[in-house]
Amino acid sequence: MVFRVIPAVDLKGGKVVRLVQGRRDKVTVEIDNPLEVAKVWVKKGAKCLHVVDLDGAFGGKLVHEDVIIKIAELTEVQVGGGIRDLKVAERLLNAGVDRIILGTLAVKDVKAVKRFAKDYPGRVMIAVDSKKGKVVVEGWIKNTELTPVELAKLYEDCEVSILYTNIDVEGLVSGINIERVREVVESTTLPVYVAGGISSLDDVRAVKRCGAVGAIIGSALYTGKVRLEELLGEEA
């Protein structure tokens, strides 16, 4: 599988934002016109975008569906945030979204998500959102007793991918915890995408060396700490 560097487009209140550790009250970046932002990343060479409806994640219901579908017309996209109804997931897939990211639902109704994944092979991502070593759901605010490795293993018999996010370093632009990343990647045969704290070319290379198939980059791009064109050189 080709390694991908994927810019994040996080939506809140009709704007593209970056949050610190997923906290809605800690906004570090705020940009109008998400569609134009998406066009910039595509023009710079991004082959896929990671689109998250933060209002949906916090409220439990997708809010930015219209703009998400417009972004999906530009390039390959994977979309998450508040998709807790499989009818909504199906509607997005039929509207041109390439992959759906399921987190809360993937923990709460494993059987239903597995059935859905078998109907849409390769088009479902399981969000493994980790805070202090345990999976969290419902917009990263509700704790579970599952570890990231345990959640990933629940879906080993499905044609899905794993999206591992270490919330402890999310949005801090301070680097990754590569040991945590390696633990998840080496524990599963499923393809793993990594998000959270990736803030340099060295971070991207470390994620790639671990065997992950993709790196999601957010705050480091929006704050100018890294240039997308430089990171895209790692795609191969």
CA dihedral 112, 105, 196, 33 (to 10 degrees): 110
219: containing domain? 4-234
Would you place residue 154 in the very low, low, confident or very high pLDDT band (cuts 50, 70, 90)?
very high
Would you place residue 107 in the very low, low, confident or very high pLDDT band (cuts 50, 70, 90)?
very high
Distance CA 74, CA 43 (A): 10
Cα diameter, the chain: 42
Q: What is the CATH number of the domain that holds 56?
A: 3.20.20.70
Catalytic residue among 32, 66, 85, 129: 129
Which DSSP string do the residues of 102-155 spell out, in sequence order?
ESHHHHH-HHHHHHHHHHSTT-EEEEEEEETTEEEETTTTEE-S--HHHHHHHT
Would you place residue 167 in the very low, low, confident or very high pLDDT band (cuts 50, 70, 90)?
confident
Number of domains the chain is built from: 1
pLDDT at 23: 63
pLDDT at 59: 87
Round the average pLDDT of the chain to a whole number and report it: 91
User: Where is pLDDT greater, at 57 or 127?
Assistant: 127
Catalytic residue among 10, 53, 55, 203: 10
DSSP strand pairing (15-19 vs 27-31): antiparallel
For residue 130, count CB atoms less than 10 angstroms from its CB and return exposed for 0-12, middle for 13-18, buried for 19 or more. buried
Distance CA 194, CA 212 (A): 7
User: Where is pLDDT greater, at 60 or 216?
Assistant: 216
Would you place residue 173 in the very low, low, confident or very high pLDDT band (cuts 50, 70, 90)?
low
Confirm whether 10 is a catalytic residue.
yes
For residue 36, count CB atoms less than 10 angstroms from its CB and return exposed for 0-12, middle for 13-18, buried for 19 or more. exposed
pLDDT at 58: 85
pLDDT at 213 exceeding the cut of 60: yes
Confirm whether 25 is a catalytic residue.
no
